[in-house]
Amino acid sequence: MKTSFFRVCLISAAVIGFTLPQAKAQHPVFSEVSVHDPSVIKTGDTYYVFGSHLASAKSKNLMQWQQISSSVNNNNPLIPNVYTELKETFDWAQSDTLWAPDVAQLADGKFYMYYNACKGDSPRSALGVAVSDKIEGPYKNKGIFLKSGMEGKSEDGTTYHANVHPNVVDPQTFFDHKGKLWMVYGSYSGGIFILKMNPKTGFPLPNQGYGKKLLGGNHSRIEGPYISYNPETKYYYLYLSFGGLDASGGYNIRAARSKYPDGPYYDAAGHNMLDAKGKDGSFFDDKAIEPYGVKLMGSYTFASQSEKGKGYVSPGHNSVFYDGKTKRSYLIFHTRFPNRGEEHEVRVHELYMNKDGWPAAAPYRYAGEPDTHISAAAAPGTYKLIQHGKDITAAIKTPKTIRLNNDGTISGEMTGTWTITGSSKAKNNLNGTNYDGVFLKEWDSAREKEVVTFSVLSGDGEAVWGVE
């Protein structure tokens, strides 16, 4: 996602963390890094994230991160001599930096980095692939396979039009549950597209042009697509970022799902995501796209106006890691913070499927907690409540105060009822609206203690968080 016509990614100084032994859940230790647009891959016992500007980091536990690289320069270990290695890319994009990449390991055991660059004030972009025997590089360029923003004939043989054709950035390459390889990509412009890929070469299969459109168009502020299959629900989940990435852009994370990797994708309200686009002739028409997608989180704070830092600003451009052994899912994204300007860091929150098979994000960052059963006796208490809504806004959501009473009622600034069913599932009613999700025990870093929380979704995809 890009400011001006598209975006300028502002990289803050990274706080470099070193990998430490696994911390106990009740006293977790975090090491922070800055990787914008983090795309996750795990190899062996180590998680890696790769992001814009050739930034990268690694961790063994999703809590303590170590920075590997942080900027595009000829000494970057991922692609040494990058300005020579990717000269064609920089020349086409008229840029000196790279945007959100993705790294996938294919059947030959090699690591394929899908890199991209964009001019920034137009969708003049190039997307290609580089390959390495080792995940930390060095990667050698195999070539560009998509371009956008040209004058004249585009990749599909028609004249390029930015309202209709994609901006070829923000790729993610993934295998479906049948072993077929795909790449989803796109930002603003004509929307989000998906291509069938050749798992032997890492390049697209021939004669697809830009591929199949999934959603977007007319410069709608939608980008950062990431598709993750969940074998329990048997759905493909398409995660997206709506809005603008900077501190005043209203970036927020949304999800849709499909039974097939190439769609069609629908949200919880039943909207076909192909309809999520601005009106013809419009530009950054946020109101037109606000109703679409399950909004997992946007800008918020649990703090009072006099406190600082207890929340996120413009969280987005996420990836998802599903652990087949534990059957747990993790949302990995970058976020800015209240009163900290454009400084950003990587955050990881666990995802939980509600009764209708939609992902709800834990209110607090992952701190190594085991799955813990919450009994009905543990839930009553006073909670701060965040309603994430469906809007795209620079406003930071602030909490209401409610109380979960022993008799199953809810009182305070909102009223209703609450229940816990098996496996800590939450079923709450707030001011007449039903929400389903999960009760959790999580670590609150600000107060340095374990607390009970809940994360629930309404039937049309609005997230509500409560923290004790």
Q: Distance between CA 305 and CA 307 in Å, rounded?
A: 6
Specify whether the backbone of 152 is left (phi greater than 0), alpha (psi in -120 to 50) or beta: left
**Beta-ladder partners of 301:** 311
Reply yes or no on whether 223 is catalytic: yes
Under 8 Å between Cβ of 101 and 118: no
Q: Distance between CA 431 and CA 10 in Å, rounded?
A: 40
Strands (E), 7-124: 39-43, 46-50, 56-59, 65-69, 102-105, 111-118
If we measure between CA atoms, which residue out of 265, 317, 410 comes closest to residue 53?
Answer: 317
Q: Distance between CA 51 and CA 222 in Å, rounded?
A: 18
Reply yes or no on whether 37 is catalytic: yes
* Assigned token pair, 84: 């020579």
Under 8 Å between Cβ of 282 and 427: no
Q: Distance between CA 36 and CA 333 in Å, rounded?
A: 8
Q: Distance between CA 298 and CA 193 in Å, rounded?
A: 24
Q: Distance between CA 143 and CA 113 in Å, rounded?
A: 11
Q: Distance between CA 169 and CA 286 in Å, rounded?
A: 21
If we measure between CA atoms, which residue out of 351, 6, 302 comes closest to residue 169?
Answer: 6
Which residue type, as a one-letter code, is found at position 368? G
Q: Which residue among the candidates 155, 223, 444, 462 is catalytic per the annotation?
A: 223
Which residue type, as a one-letter code, is found at position 56? S
Backbone phi, psi, residue 344, to 5°:
-140, 155
Strands (E), 298-432: 300-301, 311-323, 328-336, 345-353, 359-361, 381-387, 400-404, 409-412, 416-421, 425-430
Give the rounded distance of the alpha carbon of 400 from its chain centre. Answer: 26
Active site residues: 37, 223
